[in-house]
Each structure stands twice: as structure tokens, then as C-alpha cells.
Chains A and B, each alone.
Chain A
Amino acid sequence: MVSTDLCALRLKTAVLIGFLVLGGSAGDVTNGQARPIVVSAATSLKEAFSEIGRLYQNRTGSKVTFSFAASGELEKQIEAGAPVDVFASADEKEMNRLQAKQLIDEATRANFARNTLVLVVPAGSEVKLHSFADLERPSVRRIAIGNPKTVPAGQYAQQLLHKIQLWSKVESRLVPAENVRQVLDYVVRGEVEAGIVYSTDVQIAQGKATLAARAPELDVDPIQYPIAVVRDSFNSRAARQFVDLVRSPEGIRILEKYGFLDPK
């Protein structure tokens, strides 16, 4: 009974396989349409990629299915053989590990966007914060960050807190979340006094979370988003088309609309 949630993960994979097999064969039999591709992307890319996905479907007439989760979780799924065509991570580490195991097509790998870290507080919160250093105040009882073990946003947050020598002081108040949107959700619901998310998440909160401070770029490694075609892709041609679209001027324009910076 314990393993039900791990089973859920497997089930997700099985569903993905189902999608691919059914959708794929239907496409082949009826009108030779391109097969649908599956894109595993970091949670922070949800809105931007959904829009790029619509553009891709209009452009090519073929379908794209997204699987949004923490990059570390997606990495594990691909490692376990999930039928994924494209992987877009919020961190280079996951991509490096998959590349070392030869699970992605190296030639297609590229950084396509950049992000920054910000401190957010619930809208209308009595606890007013103006900088990351304010996290030390006793009135800040709980701080949500991504789980540093699996969530890149959490790893960057940890790095930042170490750099500004705050980690040991606030460590006991940290609430690790399963992905960066959960951090935002905790803030929006007022369950925590503050949270560390990507700058692109702030506008997603639609005014329910307020920007308190931006991380100085010098204190964190540049947050690069890499993308690549998965080696075992059933449809690497369509997958490459999707990657090209993400990196095209139109793709970059959509990413910028949601607050991403162009890669350096």
C-alpha cells in the first residue's frame, strides 16, 4: 500500500505509452499525419510551453502532449524509460546526467532561456519584507523553497541563502515543496510568510503574491534552461521541429512574454 504513489508514477508512464501507441497508430493509419510528441518540461515552463505547443500544432498539424513536473522527477522518468521525445529542464544538472548516460541526443541540446530568483510574500501580508536579508526576522516563521534534493529552483535558493550567509539562520524555518509552483501556492494561500520562486512565477500568481526582492545576479549561478531531443524518441524529426520552434524568434518572443530572459 505504501508504493501506491510510486505506482502512480509508473501508471503515468503507462498512460504516456498508451497515448503514444494509440495516437501514433491512429495517425499512421488515417492520413499519415505526424505522430504526437511528448514533451517533458520543468514546471516553470508550463504557460510559455503551452502557448508554444499551440503554435506548433497550428504550424505542423501534429499534436504535442506535455508532462510538467520538477526537472529531477522528469529526469527519473526518462531514465526509467518513459516514452518522452523532448526534455526541457530548469537546470543543466539534470540534462548533464542524462547526457552522461547517453539518454539524450547531444547534437540537439541547447540553452534556450534564462531565469532569475525572487522573494515573494502573500498579497496583503502583515510581514513586510524588502530584501532577502529580511528573512532573518523572527516574524518570518516559515519560508517555502523548492526541495533542494529534486527541484532546481530549490537548489538555486539554497545556493543563494548560503552565499548571503542566511542558510544556517533560516534553515529550521524552511518548508521544502515538490516543485516551484507549489512554493508559489503556499505563498498565495498564506501558509508561509515568504517563498523563493522564479521571477517568471510572479505574474502567474495574478496579484495574490507580491514581489518583495530580486536576487542579485552575482549571488547565483546563471539559471539556464536546456532543451534536447531524447535519444529513444519514436519521432525525432517532429521532436527536432519542436526544439527548433522553441529556439526560433517566435518561440523566444513567447518565452519573453512570460518573463524569461534570452540565454547568454
Chain B
Amino acid sequence: MIWPAFKLSLLVVSLTTVLIAMVGTACGFLLAKRQFRAKELCDAVLTLPMVLPPTVTGYYLIVLLGKRGFLGRYLYGLTGWTPAFTWQGAVVAAGVMALPIMVKSARAALESVDARYEMVSFSLGKGEFETFFRVTLPLALHGLLAGIVLTFARALGEFGATLMLAGNIPGKTQTMPLAIFEAFIAGEDRQANVLALILTFTSIATIYLTNILTRSPKSA
């Protein structure tokens, strides 16, 4: 079960990283550059999955998105599809768990961009869209990249919420952390060791990469 779990983890994690990089940057932008009511409350709610035990987040997801859940029942009624026990469910679980890290990183990175540069861009007649992509984004790139790498790492290690929402179906929803857990409990120590080593090396590589990316260009 090593190979299917590895492939599934890669699929789930890459998709999650791409989605969360976009959603997280958008949320981070709103929190950093816009003033609106209940802004800090929004931040707190988005950060919640970082603080709650993953199984609690997973429980919320099941109650919300399950076949008879608050939203899930309409989804099921309309499409006949439910995210429970599917690999897409694993993406949802990993995404919700990784979002706080991306939002926090993006907010900090975007806040650190000096507003005067943006003002200059506006005064030169550039719109908000162009200013974001040609001024703000390049200046915040280091922080955003670090956030993306951490998002990748968090999604790769996600266990609790995934187990709750997507289940642990070998070959379908069993990601690497779940395969390690099952191999350990079932006494298949060799499999557990191989999977644990793969994950450990990936994690070390991620942290190493993050450190390089977050180092400021001048000191490099």
C-alpha cells in the first residue's frame, strides 16, 4: 500500500497547495489591505483549524458536508455526490487545515509591503489589479512562497480531519499518514518505516526550502 498512498498524497497535496495558495493569498490580501467590520473576527475564524484538534475540525466538516450534513444534504440532493469517502474529501480536509498557515503568511507578507509603492503605482494611473500583480505581489513574494511551502507541508502531514471526512480506504482515500497509522497498528513495521522515512525526508526538504526562501535577498 506504499505506492498508491504515495501517489494519492502527491495528488491531494499538490491540488490542495495550488487551491490554498490562491484562496489564502486572497484572504490575506483582504485582511492586510482592506478595512471592514469584524475583520479580526474573520481572521480568528480562519485561524481556528490551526488551534482546534484536527479531529474536531474533521467532525465539523462531516456535520457540515456529510450526506445528511447542513450543506452536504443540498449538495447531495443537487448532484447525487458527497465529499465523504472520496479523494476530493481529502483535499477539502487538507485545505481547511492548511488555510490558516497560508492566510497568516500572506497577511504578514502583504502587510509588510510599503503602501507608498502602491500609492505611486496608483498615481501613475495603474489600476488596482495591475498594482497588485506588478507591485504588491513581487514585493511580498518571499513571504508568500514561504507560506506556500508551509501549506504543502501541512497538507502532506494532515491526518485527523482527513480520517474523519475522507475515511481510510486503501487505494482511494488512504494518504501516507493514514497508511503509516494503519501499518503501525497492524504490526507491518517495515511498511510503516518506509513511509515514515519518505515523509521525514520530504519534511526536512520542505523546511530547508522554506529557510532559503524566507532569507532576505540582501543577506543571501
Contacts and interface: CB of A to CB of B under 8 A. Distances in A.
Interface residues of A, number: 22
Contacts of A2: 156-157, 159, 176-177, 180, 196, 199-200, 203
Main secondary structure of the interface of B (DSSP, over half): helix
B24 interface: no
Interface in A146-190: 147, 149-150, 174-178, 189-190
Interface of A: 1-6, 70, 72-73, 76, 142, 147, 149-150, 174-178, 189-191
B168 A147 contact: yes
Contact of B167 (A70, A72, A176): A176
B85 A3 contact: no
B38 interface: no
Interface size class on chain B is 20 to 34
B185 A1 contact: no
B182 interface: yes
Contacts, number: 66
Contact of B67 (A3, A70, A175, A191): A191
A43 B76 CA distance: 31
A142 B85 contact: yes
Interface of B: 62, 66-68, 82, 84-85, 153-154, 156-157, 159-160, 163, 167-170, 176-177, 180-182, 184-187, 196, 199-200, 203
A149 B186 contact: yes
Nearest to B182: A149
Residue of B67, B167, B168, B200 with most chain A CB atoms under a 10 A cut-off:
B167
A176 B172 CA distance: 11
A178 B168 contact: yes
A76 B185 CA distance: 7
A191 B167 CA distance: 11
A80 to B, nearest CB: 10
A191 B62 CA distance: 9
Given A4-B159, A6-B180, A175-B167, 16 more contacts: A1-B203, A2-B200, A5-B159, A5-B160, A5-B181, A73-B185, A149-B182, A149-B185, A176-B167, A176-B168, A176-B169, A176-B170, A178-B163, A178-B168, A191-B67, A191-B82
